Structure formats: structure tokens, C-alpha cells
Amino acid sequence: MAVDHLHSDLHPKGSLRISTFAFGLGLLGLGVLGFVNPAESLVAVNEVSSGKRQTFKSFQIASGICPQKRNTRKAPSRYRKMNNPLPENGEVIQAGKTLYHRAAKPTACRMCHGSRGNGNGKLALRLDPPPRNFTCSQVMKPLSDGQLFWIIKHGSPSTAMPAHKDHLNDRDIWKLVRYLRTFAK
């Protein structure tokens, strides 16, 4: 998890509130510029009391890092060599989008990976390692369609990524792979 530390003494009579408000406005500004989605930023602010003053100790952002350090197990070679059998067209991508945002079970993908695919979903802050950032072309382009298919189907050990083999058929998984590819374009 990325951790940035900000250390400054803040006066207890309103300075913390003003600083928190300014911090929020800064995130909103980054969202307008397209760098951060304020609804998905999942910023946790830790405050520590020290006598009459409070210290704004740190904040943590769940993901959105590119590239992320990963030790993802490789799929068997027969999977890695697989190409997506579904056409790259609007109908298939829209079906994948529906699965990603709403229909995938047990949990919609966006809950962890975020609606923008950047790994900053509502559940991301609690996950270690953080969810994959699908917008990072450095990481996504080298991954074969078969590797993505295998991870979705079988899950990823030592992460929160569940296996979907009992909830999604192969065709639906391939639709998801087509949609995931749109994030890094």
C-alpha cells in the first residue's frame, strides 16, 4: 500500500477542519483534472493527539499505482497461449462492462478494482495487496488474454481475488477480459 507522510502541527481550534477541507478540495481538483476519482480515492486520514496540538500524521491511498509490484502466479502454459475467442466489438465489450459493474458474482469487479479500473474500488483500502490497476498499460499489455482468463476463473492465491469458476461460465469470463482491455487503451 502506498503511504505518503505529511507532518505538520495544526492548531486544535479549527485548523484541522480547514486543513481537512482544503485536502478534500485538492482531491476534488485532482478529480476534475482526471488524476483522481474523489468518489474512489479511499483516503484514510490518521490523526494523533499530542497535548494541545494535533498532528496530521499520514494518509494512505489504496492503489492506482503504476506499475504495481506483483508476485502473481503464472497460469499454466496452455492458458497463457489462449487467445480470446470472442470478437472485439461493442456488443461483447458492453456485456463485459455489465458483468464488471453489476452482474458478476459473488461481488461485482468494480467493488475492488473501481469503476475506472484503477484498483480504487470501495473495498480496496482493506485489501493487501491492493487490487490490480487495469489502467496501467505497462502491466496489462504484457499479460496474455489467457493469463487474465485463468486468474478470473481460478482466483489469485494470497490475495482477495476469488475464483469465479462457480459463478461465471467461460464465455462470460472472456467478455470480462475484453472489457478489462479497454482500461489500458
pLDDT at residue 97 greater than cutoff 90: yes
**Cis check: omega of the bond before 129, within 30 degrees of 0:** yes
The answer to whether the pTM exceeds 0.75 is no
| pLDDT confidence of residue 110 | 95
Q: Single out the residue of 180, 161, 154 nearest to residue 123, CA to CA.
A: 161
Helix (H, G, I), strand (E, B) or coil at 18: helix
Task: Report the percent of the chain where pLDDT is more than 70.
Answer: 65
Tell me the average pLDDT across 2-6: 38
What's the CA gap between 5 and 147, in Å, rounded?
Answer: 36
The position carrying cell 482466483 is: 155
Q: What is the pLDDT of residue 70?
A: 76
CA distance 18 to 47: 14
Q: Distances from the Cα of 35 to the Cαs of 31, 86, 158, in angstroms?
A: 6, 32, 29
- For 33, the grid coordinates are 483534472
Cβ atoms of residues 134 and 119 within 8 Å: yes
Percentage of the chain with pLDDT > 90?
51
Q: Is the pLDDT of residue 159 over 70?
A: yes
Name the residue with higher pLDDT: 63 or 12: 63
CA dist., res. 54 & res. 13, Å (int) = 10
Nearest of 92, 91, 98, 8 to residue 54 by alpha carbon: 8
Chain mean pLDDT for the chain: 75
> How far apart, in whole angstroms, are the C-alpha atoms of residue 63 and residue 57?
19
CA distance 171 to 15: 55
